[in-house]
Structure 1
Amino acid sequence: MTNIISSLGGGSGIDTQSLVSQLTEIERAPREQRLDQRQTELESQISAYGTLKSALSEFQGVLSPLGNADTFNARSVAFPDTDVITPNSLDAGAQTGSYQIEVESVASAQTLVMGSNSDPKAALGNSGELTIQFGEWAYDVSDNPTGFTVNGDKAALNITVDASDSLETIADKINDSDSGIQASVMNVDGNYQLMLSSPSGADNAMQITASDPSLSDFGFNMGNLSALETQQASDAVMKVNGLTINRQTNTIDDVIDGFNFTLNKASVGEKINFSVDVDKGVAEQAVRDFVEAYNSFLTTAKNLTGYSKDENNNTVRGDLATDGTAKALVSRVREMIGNEVDGIESGFTALTNLGIRTERDGSLSISEEEFSAAFSNNFDLVGELFAQNTSSENSFVEVGTGTRVGNTVPGSYDVEITQDPSKGVLSGADIGTLFDTPPFDASTGDYSFDISVNGVKSNTITLSGSYANAEELRTEMQSLINGDENLKGANAKVDVGFDAATGQFSFTSREYGANSKVSLSNQGADMATLGLDTGSVTSTAGRDVAGTINGEPGFGAGEVLLPELGSDAYGLNLSVRPGAAAEGTFSIGFSRGLGGELNNLIERFLSKDGSIANREENMGNQLDRIDDDREELDRRMEQFEARISAQFLAMEKIVTSLQSTGDSLDGLLDRLPFTAQSK
């Protein structure tokens, strides 16, 4: 085509090459203008969606605290300046009230020093097992130990000592055990000794027994007090509003619910007064921020999807004024703002209940008098309106939420527990008169056994102590079983019980469900004395909870009942305690609150497969098609240019031919015969 164009104008003298270009541009212009206009429109809409997403994200950021129940459970504490107590934290929902604390003593940890070697890294050449049990020592007036009571709630620690182990190696093994004991090697007058510090608290002191005489220097028990006790374990003692309270640690988090503080020193006679109060200001500010953020979002959305006035009072149409998706999105948010909140059947069900009104332009305003009254008189209802809330009519059932709660349908559900959960238990036979003439000495017989808990088998456990009563034996067995390395690794634990009425020991798994089982094996020859021989024990497996939710069978796993997959209640979970089945049919409730509902809605809008992402993808595809249309237009214009160029070239040939014919006719008359020229 280039050759054709370059040939134009040669014969006619007309600038046909420029004429072809102009005709081609005239042919291209309207189509290209439509493509440019559509591209500009799409690019403006994509940019507008970016602005809309940003506005939604900012609004969503304000909804996060509004949908959190902690916002409506905020607390404040007025605490005096003192070095006796340090306040650490105050949780949402902390128990309110006025308090007075007097610190009589602080908790301390037992410290034992043992072993001796000139080189802390040298092998001791001794081997065996050290068993460390936790409990409380009794002392005489001279502070000499007189007896030890095992703490059955704390697992024993078993440390295997090899002949190649040094003091530092033993310390490392103890520190790696996660038992709470701190072990270190101290240089004492040129000799190195192992120092152990227990967790603080009188009931966390240590009793250490060695399985081999070569480790006797590490012993601290009534038969062997070789280790040196440099500090006794003691509890913290305080008076709270006149009530004496003991705690094992100086960091206290369970005396005043939700208030964590540290006891620094004893100060008898000094009474520290403070109060914990509800802090409504946090929630009030969150609601005001919500109103302001919504109005800001609405202004942006209206400018994008509707018409507004510029600085010259000219009407300006928003880039998304004709976009159905954007307008439906904004309409859905406005609808949710004005409607009642799903799942709330009474109390404050809508914003209007606390004095928040919708104006004619769609914005929100606050009636200060009604707003103040709502916070003063119905603060709990305000919290239920905005924050996620679950409820249960059955005191044995607690309703929780899982990762799928975003799809849970708010509302009320009828529940029936048809089978309470239970734990696996093993019961022994009557021990008869075993403790009629105490003590019972287990060191003279074979009192050993293996125990399996929830399918995990322990190492062999051996009883070798002297026990004044069944309680001492019970706590000893519980401590040794829960301290077994195999069971600890699987977090399989038991509670050992003794029923004085029947004279029976029992072993109960701490887990609920069908997998909860306890069994004994390899019992020693004398275990029949304790009613725990093979023929005397009875083992009963646990059971999973069973029940229905809105008439549909739930899935029971231990004490947790889950709704049917895909049902309206799916996303909730029910923690059930024994006794729930006796309550019959009851109701549970779930509401996300307005904050949660709006957050959930915006989350769907902004998700990678949400309506905005789909609309942006569609517009992106349209832009791609415009690029394709431009390429197609270029091809068509090339063809058009070639066609009219060929036509003009044909014309040029005709003109050239005519010119040649004209030249040949010049003087023709003079050459014709029988013609005369005028003179």
Structure 2
Amino acid sequence: MAIDILSKLNTGGSGLDLVNLSSQLAAATYEPRRALLTARMDRADLSASALDRVTARMSDLTATLQAAAGIDTLSAKSSAPGLVDVTLSDASLAPARPVEIEVLGLAQSQVLEFGGFSGPDQVLGGGTLTIDIGRWQGDPPVFTANPAQSGAQLVVPAGATLTQLAEALSSLPGVTARAIEVGDGSWSLGILSETGAASSLRIAASADAAPDIAALDFAADPRPVERRVASDALLTVDGIAVLRPTNQIDDLIPGLSLGLSGVTTAPVTIRAETDPRTALAVMEGLVEEFNGLKSLLQQVTARGGNGAEPGALAGDAGVMSLLRELDAMLAGGMSGFGPQPIFLADVGLRTERDGRLSLDKSVFEAAFSADPSRFRSVLQDNLASTGPGVAINGMPARGATPGRYEFLRDPATGAATLNGVALTPVAEADGQTSYRVATGPLSGIVLTVEPGVTRSTIDFGRSLASQLSTWIDAATGRDGVISRKQDRLEASLAQDGDAIETLGTQAAAYEARMRARFAEMEKVITQLNSTGEYLTSLIDSFNAQR
């Protein structure tokens, strides 16, 4: 227990509790300022806690959006499976509308037959074979080498068998060979190319080749040994004829892979469909998370009144701006998903009077049944050509404006524009032309165009999920509204904490000064009291002698 020495010694002075008086004077001088700082720190703590809750809710919504985007609600379907099979390769690129396919011819390999062999073990003479890959055209046929395929030379040693020759040929790229029993006691050497007109083979024998090796030479004309001509797959996509070197086609319809197995007699419909039950569950989860965030923002920014306490962020202009941006996002239509904007009400989402979302299941199911592609406007961005023959790679810059853009091309010169912005053509080896969009609203994408395409419409749309993610990133990013507010609160708390610590130091020093002054005062009072007692005693003595 501390001993109040000043009070113990103060027996002949003023009689006041000078230690307590010093403390009270220090408190009266500094406590009001400390109380103001403490109250401000308490409010800042409440605001910081509210921001942490908002940030956590935004993180929850972001996680829900990411999970929803990863749920496979799409499946690819063909109206003629077995003839035209389709698989989903990239759900984000799959077309929103059905595509009609007609297969007029399958891609085929070149088949060559060299007969007259006695058996698979027939011993052959030696020689060198030069195998080139390319295209035979015209009558008489002329060979043009495929620049994308390199030729090869095969040295056949004397004494090799027919089977060994077939195995050696099969080891070369683009060649398959086998010894085949014909059925009349003789054997043939069958040689196949890969599918596609530009994958045909040309074989030339060296001048010193043995007769049985020289018989494989058809460098001048393949027709005497050609049993089937190599050809491309010929098909139409929404009426536009296209060629492909294989029957497995991955670069024709964005997001879908086609497998051709036969010629069709009527158009085949290809579509990417969304499962309605999965889509509904995704929508309900999204609405729940969105409403949780919206309710929290309304709670922390409430101004109070009618007995209600104001929110921890009441009157904060930055956080209030987030609410306004959110309301504007819900009210605006989503362009780039077709000729007309899609509004949330079109897919059964409605904004209630309290600002929260509600999902009308009957409206959603009816809208989904009529046009499943509308659901994609909620979860997935759209970047697609409305017509065939145009493949799109890449994504526009973050600030790209959603909408519909017109691609026009001069087939004679290859010059093209996208919404009036000139594009530079780059010829590809397969006959297609690439256009890198370096400027303009869709800068960053690359269009790869089939030779016959002269125009197409490019749709670019940002989904509600994408807009929400961008809004959250902007709010919580380093320069976002929430981050800046958190930085200000942290700086204010640190500054006020330092100020309170300084006030404590000043109050202690002030109290010490008061005690020192009171001690001096007590000395004077004690001396005066002592003098007074002496004078009183002297007067009393004087009066007693009279």
Shift of residue 52 of structure 1?
0.9
Cα distance in 2, alignment partners of residues 588 and 619 from structure 1: 46
Cα distance in 1, alignment partners of residues 88 and 380 from structure 2: 23
Counterpart of 2:545? 677
Q: Structure 1: give runs of 5+ residues left out of the alignment.
A: 81-86, 98-133, 160-176, 182-198, 226-246, 264-274, 423-544
Q: Which amino acid aligns with 1:328?
A: S
* Alpha carbons 1:342, 1:410 under 8 Å: kept: yes
Q: Structure 1 residues 637, 417: closer, same or farther in 2, change over 3 A?
A: farther
Counterpart of 1:628? 498
Q: Which amino acid aligns with 2:302?
A: G
Counterparts of 1:384-463 in structure 2 under 5 Å? 384=377, 386-391=379-384, 398-402=391-395, 405-413=397-405
Cα-to-partner distance string for 1:32-90 (whole Å, 9 max, x where unaligned): 2222222122122222212111211222233346668x966434799x9xxxxxx9987
Query: Is the partner of 1:140 in helix, strand or coil?
Result: strand
Counterpart of 1:339? 332
Q: Structure 1 residues 645, 556: closer, same or farther in 2, change over 3 A?
A: farther
1:301 pairs with 2:297: yes
Picking from 511, 514, 518, the partner of 1:644 is: 514
1:362 pairs with 2:367: no
Cα distance in 2, alignment partners of residues 414 and 296 from structure 1: 41
Q: Structure 2: give runs of 5+ residues left out of the alignment.
A: 100-108, 135-145, 154-170, 176-191, 217-243, 262-269, 428-433
Shift of residue 645 of structure 1?
2.9
Counterpart of 2:321? 328
Cα distance in 2, alignment partners of residues 53 and 657 from structure 1: 69
Counterpart of 2:531? 661
Cα distance in 2, alignment partners of residues 616 and 289 from structure 1: 29
Counterpart of 2:34? 32
Q: Structure 1 residues 350, 677: closer, same or farther in 2, change over 3 A?
A: same
Counterpart of 1:54? 56
Counterpart of 1:607? 477
TM-score calculated relative to the size of structure 2? 0.61
Query: Matched residues, percent identical?
Result: 24
Shift of residue 96 of structure 1?
9.0
Cα distance in 2, alignment partners of residues 90 and 223 from structure 1: 47
Cα distance in 1, alignment partners of residues 37 and 172 from structure 2: 71
RMSD of aligned Cα (Å): 5.7
* Alpha carbons 1:135, 1:149 under 8 Å: kept: no
1:283 pairs with 2:279: yes
Q: Which amino acid aligns with 2:312?
A: D
Q: Structure 1 residues 363, 30: closer, same or farther in 2, change over 3 A?
A: same
Cα-to-partner distance string for 1:225-251 (whole Å, 9 max, x where unaligned): 9xxxxxxxxxxxxxxxxxxxxx999x9
* Alpha carbons 1:298, 1:363 under 8 Å: kept: yes
Q: Structure 1 residues 210, 603: closer, same or farther in 2, change over 3 A?
A: farther
Query: Is the partner of 2:398 in helix, strand or coil?
Result: helix
Q: Structure 1 residues 76, 662: closer, same or farther in 2, change over 3 A?
A: farther
Cα distance in 2, alignment partners of residues 10 and 669 from structure 1: 28
Picking from 151, 156, 159, the partner of 2:133 is: 151
Cα-to-partner distance string for 1:166-198 (whole Å, 9 max, x where unaligned): xxxxxxxxxxx99799xxxxxxxxxxxxxxxxx
Cα-to-partner distance string for 1:181-227 (whole Å, 9 max, x where unaligned): 9xxxxxxxxxxxxxxxxx9979999999999x9xx9xxxx94799xx
Shift of residue 592 of structure 1?
0.9
Cα distance in 2, alignment partners of residues 289 and 334 from structure 1: 19
Q: Structure 1 residues 8, 206: closer, same or farther in 2, change over 3 A?
A: farther
Cα distance in 1, alignment partners of residues 110 and 19 from structure 2: 107
Q: Structure 1 residues 346, 260: closer, same or farther in 2, change over 3 A?
A: closer
Shift of residue 336 of structure 1?
1.0
Cα-to-partner distance string for 1:401-424 (whole Å, 9 max, x where unaligned): 43x5211122345666579887xx
Cα distance in 2, alignment partners of residues 24 and 292 from structure 1: 55
Counterparts of 1:42-81 in structure 2 under 5 Å? 42-64=44-66, 73-75=74-76
Cα-to-partner distance string for 1:268-302 (whole Å, 9 max, x where unaligned): xxxxxxx9983423433333332232223223333
TM-score calculated relative to the size of structure 1? 0.50
Query: Is the partner of 2:545 in helix, strand or coil?
Result: coil
Counterparts of 1:245-260 in structure 2 under 5 Å? 258=256
Q: Structure 1 residues 294, 340: closer, same or farther in 2, change over 3 A?
A: same
Cα distance in 2, alignment partners of residues 598 and 410 from structure 1: 15
Q: Structure 1 residues 398, 48: closer, same or farther in 2, change over 3 A?
A: same
Q: Structure 1 residues 47, 419: closer, same or farther in 2, change over 3 A?
A: farther
* Alpha carbons 1:91, 1:259 under 8 Å: kept: no
* Alpha carbons 1:8, 1:652 under 8 Å: kept: no
Q: Structure 1 residues 343, 317: closer, same or farther in 2, change over 3 A?
A: same
Shift of residue 15 of structure 1?
3.2
Q: Which amino acid aligns with 1:297?
A: L
Cα distance in 2, alignment partners of residues 653 and 607 from structure 1: 66
Q: Structure 1 residues 415, 200: closer, same or farther in 2, change over 3 A?
A: closer
Cα distance in 2, alignment partners of residues 353 and 74 from structure 1: 23
Counterparts of 1:505-524 in structure 2 under 5 Å? none
Shift of residue 395 of structure 1?
6.2
Counterpart of 1:485? none
Q: Structure 1 residues 355, 252: closer, same or farther in 2, change over 3 A?
A: same
* Alpha carbons 1:411, 1:590 under 8 Å: kept: yes
Query: Is the partner of 1:365 in helix, strand or coil?
Result: strand
Counterpart of 2:115? 140
* Alpha carbons 1:66, 1:286 under 8 Å: kept: yes
Counterpart of 2:167? none
Cα distance in 2, alignment partners of residues 612 and 623 from structure 1: 16
Q: Which amino acid aligns with 2:492?
A: Q
Q: Structure 1 residues 224, 414: closer, same or farther in 2, change over 3 A?
A: closer
